[in-house]
Chains A and B, each alone.
Chain A
Amino acid sequence: MFRRNGKKGNYAYTVARVKAKKSLLMKEEDYSKMMMMTVPEMSRYISETGYQKEMVDLAVRSSGLDLLEHATYTNMAKVFSTILEASEGELSDMLSAYLAKWDIWNMKVILRGKSYGLDANGIKEDLVPAGSLSAESLDKLIAIDSQEDIIAAFGKMAHVTFTPEVLAAQKAGINLEEIEDYLDKFYYTRLVNSVDTSSRPSLLFLNFVRQEIDLENLETILKLKVEGIRGDAVLKYIIPEGKHIDMKLAMQLANAESIEAMIPDLAGLDFYENIKDALPTANKSLLGVLAGLKGYAMQQAKKFSHLYPLSVIPVLDFMIHKENEVDNIRIIARGTESGLSKEEIKALLVI
């Protein structure tokens, strides 16, 4: 896949652009200021730091939290698409393969939205049309009524194949998690398999993706553990090809009695430092652990983008940071709206 047009990527150009963009991302002071604001103030504040166009486009129709959420996601999609357009050759191939994760995200949003009975506008607010499916294609998906047809249409558009078991489970009306996990697994498996292991730039990329798979897997295991599910029931959700967590380790983790019992196995892993403080409270709330994992992913991306300045990693590093910025803004906005205290909000932010 990555030899499709056989051209070397334009790393210098894309990376320089991305680094310039990264320097304009929000800093800690911005977040602390935003915590003092109401949602409309926040919307206006971020409209002066790069979200202007989206804010102005959308402010006619919506306001408040809806506006902020819609604008931040639209902006993120726009930024990612701009980067993809700016890149060429193998870099572009890698990025578009990576950005396919937003197709999966959008599909999940649509399915969830439909099952909660949201209207088209409600669903659209959470879409991030940064993947291969354009906003128009997504509109078409939203317009479809039955879940089955949506899945079929999506499979056709995004070239995703569904196994009969998944389709059967969906038909049987079991919860959406089944199909969501399948989509994640499908995305990562396809991504890993599509990487051309003979070229150095794409090996770096593969390494990065496999690390992401680790974090994804750990998240799955922990979520299920909190729900009291363990053993083989967990294993079927595990995405193979993780960097540190191979199938054997995954099995051990999955079989552990409790989260505490996982600690010895986890202690040897790179990211243990980032999550060890949050692990004891993980039974109550996973948010701390998840924030820790996200922080680890960001650290790693930063480290590798320094090590390999002319590779795909700085671009991915920026994408992670941008996504995090948008998440942070939304966390602050939702937190403020629902009356959380500053300390509570701050604990949820990844800075």
Chain B
Amino acid sequence: MAADIGTGLIAIGAGLAVGLTGLGAGMAEKDVGAAAVGAITEDQTLFGKAMIFMVLPETIVIFGLVIAIMAIFVM
């Protein structure tokens, strides 16, 4: 694989897009997750609802993924 600097930068950019959004989602999910576990401890029937709220911040990563895909395939 002969790669020039441009390709490398694109790869780094794509990595950053996924990595940083993942970090962001993680930070957001930290509190939601703690709260979800807390709520489930008291009332197990809340599992489904807690799960829905828990994964909401994940959307951010998916946007990161879109950017990464665009970076790799479009540029």
> Which A residues are closer than 8 A to B by beta carbons?
10, 12-17, 19-21, 23-24, 86, 310
Nearest-neighbour CB distance to chain A for B46, whole angstroms, equals 7
Asked if B4 CB lies within 8 Å of chain A CBs, one says no
A15 touches B42 (CB 8 A): no
- Chain B residues with CB below 8 A from A13, complex form: 34-35, 37-38
A239 to B35, CA, bound (A): 37
B43 touches A12 (CB 8 A): no
B43: nearest chain-A partner, CB-CB? A20
- CB-contact partner of A12 in B35, B42, B46, under 8 A: B35
A86 to B43, CA, bound (A): 15
Interface of A is mostly: helix
Asked if B62 CB lies within 8 Å of chain A CBs, one says no
Asked if B32 CB lies within 8 Å of chain A CBs, one says yes
- In this complex, how many residues of chain B approach chain A with their Cβ under 8 Å: the count is 12
A309: nearest chain-B partner, CB-CB? B35
- Chain A residues with CB below 8 A from B42, complex form: 17, 20-21, 24
Interface of B is mostly: helix
- CB-contact partner of B31 in A12, A17, A20, A24, under 8 A: A12
A16 to B34, CA, bound (A): 8
Residue pairs across A and B with CB atoms within 8 Å: the count is 36
- Chain B residues with CB below 8 A from A21, complex form: 42
A10: nearest chain-B partner, CB-CB? B34
Asked if B68 CB lies within 8 Å of chain A CBs, one says no
Digitize B22-51: 1 where CB-to-A-CB distance is under 8 Å, 0 elsewhere. 000000000110111111011100100000
A310: nearest chain-B partner, CB-CB? B31
B43 touches A24 (CB 8 A): yes
Nearest-neighbour CB distance to chain A for B59, whole angstroms, equals 20
Q: What 6 pairs across the A-B complex have the smallest Cβ distances?
A: A20-B42, A16-B38, A16-B35, A17-B38, A13-B34, A12-B31
- Chain B residues with CB below 8 A from A20, complex form: 38-39, 41-43, 46
B39 touches A16 (CB 8 A): yes
A19: nearest chain-B partner, CB-CB? B39
A297 to B37, CA, bound (A): 29
- Chain A residues with CB below 8 A from B36, complex form: 16
B38 touches A14 (CB 8 A): yes
A180 to B42, CA, bound (A): 36
B32: nearest chain-A partner, CB-CB? A12
- Chain B residues with CB below 8 A from A310, complex form: 31
- Chain A residues with CB below 8 A from B43, complex form: 20, 23-24
- Chain B residues with CB below 8 A from A19, complex form: 39
